[in-house]
Amino acid sequence: MLLREVEYAKPSSVAEALTMLEANDGARALAGGQTLINVMKARAASPDVLVDLNGLDELKGIELGADGTLSIGPMTTYAELIDSAEARARPILADVCSQIADVQVRNRGTIGGNLCSSDPTNHLPPLMAAVGAELTITGPRGERTVPAADFFLGVYMTAVEQGELLTRISVPAGKRDGFAAVTLGVEGTCIVNAAASASGALRVALGCVDAVPVLIEADSPDEVREGVRAARLRPPNDVHASSEYRAHLAEVLAERAARQAVGA
């Protein structure tokens, strides 16, 4: 049998989804399923109930506010964001989404699922940390907003608690951004990635070097490498790259992303 037996529920509103998630500790939200179904197949997770968020229009769509802030529904797919006229207000978002895996994954995978997976090799956690996104979490006690820098708590762990949902992603206005990655082949998983924003103070967020994105602040791209060294990274060592090689890439990619952000 491919999957252990699991119940399936398709709520018709966010309120109904929250009631289902709160009623059962073993219930999990299902977005694009690109991560969740694979970890279920590998028996690394075995939820009792899948609460399918597909079809909840409240969790979809991209709106551009008068001040340039983008409000993105977590069930927006990468493909929808890439095609969105509104999302062009912050071009790095579509640039990075178009680098994620292949067309099948981009058609099914969602922005919210990417963030809630908190997979250290994913593209979007460092990007959201660098651009200063704010994430709205809704649960039985109401809504709260968490800066992206505080959202990721560990591998597969985020500020979203059992019985809660990520319901909105808010990205402030800005165009001075950069992103650089070394991947396992074309369209492959990142070995190290770096996202930078110079809309305001220069911020670089590194992915794949720790359980959560590592934020570096610097006055200029010339100082970014020193900032990375000062963070005393101890990246993972695996079949794809040694810890030393990842630490070296972190410096190179952080500087590359920072130079792209400032247009140098």
Binding of ligand FAD at residue 29 (CB under 6 A)? yes
Q: How many CB atoms lie within 10 A of CB 45?
A: 15
φ and ψ of 137, to 5 deg: -115, 130
φ and ψ of 5, to 5 deg: -60, 135
Interface characters, 164-203, with ligand FAD (x: CB under 6 A): -xx----------------------x--------------
Specify the residue, 55 or 200, whose C-beta has the smaller distance to ligand FAD.
Answer: 55
Specify the residue, 33 or 68, whose C-beta has the smaller distance to ligand FAD.
Answer: 33
What does the block give as tokens for 182? 């070394």
In sequence order, what DSSP letters do the residues of 44-72 get, joined into one string?
S---SEEEE-TT-GGG--EEE-TTS-EEE
Q: Which of residues 208-227 bind ligand FAD (CB under 6 A)?
A: none
Binding of ligand FAD at residue 205 (CB under 6 A)? no
Sheet with 190-197, side-by-side order of all strands: 177-183, 190-197, 202-207, 214-218
Q: Are 118 and 39 in contact (CB under 8 A)?
A: no
Binding of ligand FAD at residue 123 (CB under 6 A)? yes
Binding of ligand FAD at residue 96 (CB under 6 A)? no
Binding of ligand FAD at residue 160 (CB under 6 A)? yes
Binding of ligand FAD at residue 256 (CB under 6 A)? no
In the complex, the residues that contact ligand FAD under the rule CB under 6 A are 28-36, 38, 53, 74, 100-101, 105, 109-110, 112-114, 116-117, 119, 122-124, 160, 165-166, 189
